[in-house]
Structure 1
Amino acid sequence: MAASSHRRSRRPDRRPDRRTVRVPAVAVTAVAAVVLVVSLVVAFRPGGGDDDGARTVKPVAGAQVSGAPTPAAASTAAAASASASPSAASPTPSPSATPSARPSAKPAVPAARAGSRTAPSAGRIQPGTDYQGIATSYDVGNGDGACSYGPTSDVMTAAMNTADYETSKACGAYVLVRASGGASVTVRITNECPAPCEAGQLDLSRQAFAKLAPLSAGRIPITWSLLSPATSETVSIRYKTGSTQYWCGVQAIGHRNPLSRLEVRANGSWVALPRTEYNYFLSEQGSGCGGAIRLTDVYGEQLTVDAVAVRPDVVQSTRVQFARH
């Protein structure tokens, strides 16, 4: 076709001309040179060449190529992809190319990573729900209670009725309490109120009760709900007194939202530890003691804390906190 195109462009006169017959060698040489140049252009243009034979298809930057490339080809493709136009199609990254959330080296303090969310907890106390009940008051003493947090100077606390305490699931929860007259107070659950406390009832510290009504009122109707407050406190881990690598009790302290689950890493999988009424999670066979810990709150958020050494009755900070809701 190249020669045909050349002939159409020259349109020679069909009548004989002696002057053109005298130099046939020059004309033939010129025509041959032009044909050669045109043939080379056609041969080397993208997709050029004869269609009669098989052609080698070269992958274009950004295109997916089937088959496993050699290391050299992979490096070349990566370089081409980096220089390609943003509008070009990008290949789907393989799982191994996804950046890992794990730190490359363990820090001096227990590190924590945010994990994927799970389904919200199915416990009695649910986020975004108002509960009706009665408020009473009691003397909190040194601030310690059934949740085993220990003495504290924070007097804005409360004891949860046994039904809603739910084997210590309410421990550490922040609760907004509202009286019928419009007064409100935020308390943290640190204790359990056994019978005759009934479902929905909160036994407030005297200082917290006084924010709602005079202590002489004794019992007042209230509405309360779960709160996810602003806080500068971070989550800490504490092993129970007597814990070793063969038996341990694990407790989380300072969490913004109530915990629904605590798991330890054992034999390559996560194992959920049972929770006691005194707010420790027990590993009675020693599984995972001193290893990684995963915490899940009632909203389904998970925090994974790298190996925490077994140091009984020592509060070890993780420097992380659950998200606010």
Structure 2
Amino acid sequence: MASSSHRRRRRPDPNFEWRPVRGPLLAVAAVAAVALVVTLVVAFRPGDASGAAQDRAVSASSSSSVSSSEAEASAAARETASAKPSSASPKPTATARTTPTASASPATTPTRRAAAGSARTPSTTTAPAAGRIHPGASYQGVATSYDAGNGNGACSYGPTSDVMTAAMNTADYETAKACGAYVSVRAASGTAITVRITNECPAPCAVGQLDLSQQAFAKLAPLSAGRIAITWSLLSPATSDTVSIRYKTGSTQYWCGIQAIGHRNPLARLEVRTGGGWLALTRTGYNYFLSEKGTGCGGEIRLTDIYGEQLTVPALPVRPDTIQGTGVQFARH
């Protein structure tokens, strides 16, 4: 039987009034005593099936009453537990997020490979890698002239017979990023020429200024003019040349400088193949990409132009100051 503490207590009737009862109470007690005696006599009579049945009925009724009381007490305990506030601070429930698993893919888009000396189809990325000089943009500035001598300059391309060259102001030169760029230069008269950037024009050259070879300047105005107003823009010209690679003097498998020559579009990045993937080398102001610890020297090279197009050059031997052909070229834009 459940303890009394688990039972619900009935609320007292506020309208109930206790009154003393005497005569009727004695009569009721007498009747109850007689009934008790009769019940005991009947209960102890042997073979009384009806008495046994009555006992079982009483027992069943009592058991049912106890079960009902226990169930009621259990329900009351649950209600009390749920209503009791917790002393602990509530904590947010962490929701697990499921991330879809994608199939593994290489970090870079593979480029079709071909034997050295043959053209290959480059892979193209979507985002251009242009610096200060953007394709399709027109820039205003002034043109001056200088004696280009044998055609060599800060871009370290070496002597050349091409006299249609120019030096780019330091800001737009952008640590040799303008090296090798083809630029269309137009004078106020409407005359236009195409020059290739092979040198840097330091201060006092201003942003937008081009220092043309004397031969190139003379096609726009007399040398005596000194300075003329111009507009210029980047070109992606037709050419039959292909890209070549040159290792800097002093290069070995432990340290090397790598230069790309003859690219149609300005070069944005040069990378070498390593055991962990492609490593971008740092570009110098004299237009070589350096591998200070020799990483990738003599291995595959990947070139990226300012349009985001990539070319992969097969491994070439480290031959200092030797121009080695690749047979590949960037697309025209």
TM-score band, normalised by shorter chain: 0.5 to 0.7
Once the two structures are TM-superposed, the CA of residue 112 in structure 1 deviates from its matched residue by 5.1
Q: TM-score, normalised by structure 1?
A: 0.67
Partners of 1:229 and 1:144 lie apart in 2 by: 22
Partners of 2:150 and 2:208 lie apart in 1 by: 25
Q: How many residues align?
A: 225
The equivalent of 1:127 in structure 2 is: 135
The equivalent of 1:83 in structure 2 is: none
Contact 1:115 1:304 in 2 (8 A): no
Give the one of 266, 289, 294 matched to 1:286. Answer: 294
Contact 1:228 1:256 in 2 (8 A): yes
Instruction: Note if 1:273 corresponds to 2:281.
Output: yes
Instruction: Note if 1:231 corresponds to 2:242.
Output: no
**Contiguous gaps of at least 5 residues in structure 1:** 1-94
SS class of match (1:160) = strand
The equivalent of 1:215 in structure 2 is: 223
The equivalent of 1:178 in structure 2 is: 186
**Contiguous gaps of at least 5 residues in structure 2:** 1-104
Once the two structures are TM-superposed, the CA of residue 115 in structure 1 deviates from its matched residue by 2.2
Change (3 A) 1:101 1:283: closer
Contact 1:111 1:306 in 2 (8 A): no
The equivalent of 2:148 in structure 1 is: 140
Instruction: Note if 1:164 corresponds to 2:155.
Output: no
Partners of 2:241 and 2:299 lie apart in 1 by: 23
Change (3 A) 1:291 1:112: farther
The equivalent of 1:151 in structure 2 is: 159
Change (3 A) 1:303 1:102: closer
Give the one of 197, 200, 209 matched to 2:208. Answer: 200
Residues 64-115 of structure 1: per-residue CA shift (max 9 Å, x gap): xxxxxxxxxxxxxxxxxxxxxxxxxxxxxxx9xxxx9655xx7465885512
The equivalent of 2:330 in structure 1 is: 322
Aligned residue identity for 2:164 = M
Aligned residue identity for 1:199 = V
Q: Sequence identity, in percent?
A: 77
The equivalent of 1:304 in structure 2 is: 312
Change (3 A) 1:110 1:241: farther
Instruction: Note if 1:114 corresponds to 2:122.
Output: yes
Once the two structures are TM-superposed, the CA of residue 309 in structure 1 deviates from its matched residue by 1.2
Partners of 1:196 and 1:110 lie apart in 2 by: 44
Residues 269-301 of structure 1: per-residue CA shift (max 9 Å, x gap): 000000000000000011100001000001110
Partners of 2:227 and 2:310 lie apart in 1 by: 38
Partners of 1:188 and 1:122 lie apart in 2 by: 17
SS class of match (2:283) = coil
SS class of match (2:224) = helix
**RMSD between aligned residues:** 1.7
Contact 1:262 1:273 in 2 (8 A): yes
Contact 2:176 2:286 in 1 (8 A): yes
SS class of match (1:216) = helix
Once the two structures are TM-superposed, the CA of residue 178 in structure 1 deviates from its matched residue by 0.2
The equivalent of 1:262 in structure 2 is: 270
